[in-house]
Amino acid sequence: MTTAPGQAPVAQPGLPRHPLDPDPARATKARAVFALGLIGALTGLFVGGVVPATLALQLARQARREAYASGGFLTGAAWLRRGERLAWTGLVLVTVSVVVAVVFGVVRLADTPYGQDFAPNVD
């Protein structure tokens, strides 16, 4: 069974394993996605979390493609899910902090006097 022309064959569940098949291994990108997602969530309020969170989401996309193409020999789906959730949390925190900063800026701008403020002794 193949997924599409030109792609690697996908292993069918329940079939006996061939002796030359590789052993299942955890995808290294899964750990990287989790680490970047964690950094993104921890630094999300400081707006610096947008870069690692975005990188985590892009890397998770690649890791899912590789895991699918490997036919089940790459593991680490739980790490990918956790990393993606942390990355989205980091992006939400970045959005919240930017919205709060804009609201504070608008309120502060609205409180400033309009026009020139002359001294009391100037006509």
User: pLDDT grade, residue 5 (50/70/90)?
Assistant: low
Q: Is position 12 within any domain?
A: no
> Using one digit for the tens of pLDDT, what is the confidence trace for 21-35?
778 888 889 999 999
Given this model, what pLDDT does residue 114 score? Answer: 76
Count Cβ atoms below 10 Å from residue 7 Cβ, excluding itself: 11
Is the model more confident about 19 or about 8?
19
Q: How many domains does the chain have?
A: 1
User: pLDDT grade, residue 13 (50/70/90)?
Assistant: low
> Using one digit for the tens of pLDDT, what is the confidence trace for 69-111?
888 888 889 999 999 999 999 999 999 999 999 999 999 988 8
| Burial class (CB within 10 angstroms; exposed 0-12, middle 13-18, buried 19+) of 109 | exposed
Q: Is position 98 within any domain?
A: yes
What average pLDDT is seen over the chain? 86
User: For residue 86, what are the domain limits?
Assistant: 28-37+51-111
As a whole number of angstroms, the distance between CA 10 and CA 71 comes to: 5
Q: Is position 82 within any domain?
A: yes
